[in-house]
Amino acid sequence: MQHVGGQTREQYVEVAPGVRLWTQRRGPAGAPALLLVMGAQASGIGWPEPLVEALAEHHHVIRYDHRDTGRSSHPFDEDPYRVTDLAQDIVAVLDGLGVDRAHLVGLSLGGMLTQLVLADHPERVLSATLLGTCALSETPYVRPDGTSVPVAELPGIAPEVLELWARPVEDHGLEAELDRRVEHWRVLAGGRIPFDADHFRELERRIIEHAGTYAVSTAHGRADDCGMLRTAELARNEVPALVVSAPAEPVFPPPHPQHLAQVIAGARLVEVPGMGHALPPAVLGPLAEAILGHTVGRRAA
């Protein structure tokens, strides 16, 4: 299969005994690697094709399915793991594909996993781009007026998102499941950009086709999330870091992006107008431009 960014290659990588992850690579093999890290319970197919194509014009783009998503192993019920193990999977994917260093782009939980790799394995990271996530730091947020806000007092998840997440997921067939997922995206999108239900329905059809099932896993929500703070490590970061601010973000609303840019040493902040916790067509151009503006020209030493 040929794409604008070059040939697409699929490969499984073993990241732990009996655990293998599906990976896909696109773009010139000699270009700097860029690894896309999705959020909780999200398959790598969730990264929109136009964004992957735009990035693959300049990078060897890698996306993958986390454990318990898509075509990767689903081991949690028999062998529970920690959230930090999902971060180690990033390093294992790079190892398995023979990649020494890569640009990392992480969304939501993927942004937290990217911070963990940034803190624990900076020698593997060319740059980091963080979307729709919160800081793994105890350092207070400093407002523009100089006053500080403890991390615990930063805004929480929007009530409509929490209400949606609290609803039990029941099997009423494929079309009903697609309806549920589209409604989920509508709430996550934040409401500042006209919502394209057809786009997200087609996206979820591709995700389901890729996985071969529309069953929903809750593994990542049940995984042990202890030991994730990296306050000191992020404060002494030396890797180029970009934080994308999404003004319509309902999961980690502003000033979470501003806080994140403060606690990661040297981080830059850029806003994508109208963006929420979703990737609709309207934000893909500005988002690709922001990412490429951060990554193009950065090469491994």
pLDDT per position as a tens digit, 86-138: 999 999 999 999 999 999 999 999 999 999 999 999 999 999 999 999 999 99
Over residues 290-296, mean pLDDT: 96
pLDDT of residue 6: 54
**Confidence band for 3, pLDDT divided at 50, 70 and 90:** very low
Q: How far apart are the C-alpha atoms of 96 and 239, rounded to whole Å?
A: 23
Confidence of residue 297 (pLDDT cuts 50, 70, 90): low
Distance of CA 92 to the CA centre of its chain: 17
> What is the average pLDDT score of the chain?
95
pLDDT at 1: 32
pTM of the entire predicted model: 0.95
Nearest of 33, 62, 95 to residue 299 by alpha carbon? 33
Q: How do the domains of the chain map onto residue ranges? A: 2-295
pLDDT digits (tens, 9 = 90+) for 31-59: 999 999 999 999 999 999 999 999 999 99
Cα angle 125, 128, 130; round to 5: 150
For residue 35, give the nearest of 100, 84, 120 by alpha carbon.
100
Q: What is the pLDDT of residue 299?
A: 40
Contact 137, 267 (CB under 8 A): no
CA 13, CA 157: separation in Å to the nearest integer? 34
Q: Which parts of the chain fold into alpha helices (H)?
A: 49-56, 83-96, 109-120, 159-166, 174-189, 197-211, 219-222, 231-235, 256-263, 281-295
Task: Region of 191 please: left (phi>0), alpha (psi -120 to 50) or beta.
Answer: left
Cβ–Cβ under 8 Å, residues 139 and 263 = yes
Residues whose CB is less than 8 angstroms from the CB of residue 246 and which lie 6 or more positions away in sequence, other chains included: 131, 132, 190, 257, 271, 272, 275, 276, 277
Pick the CATH number of 2-295 from 3.40.640.10, 3.40.50.1820, 3.10.310.30, 3.30.300.30: 3.40.50.1820
Residue with tokens 């890569």, as numbered in its chain: 102
Tens of pLDDT along 240-258?
999 999 999 999 999 999 9
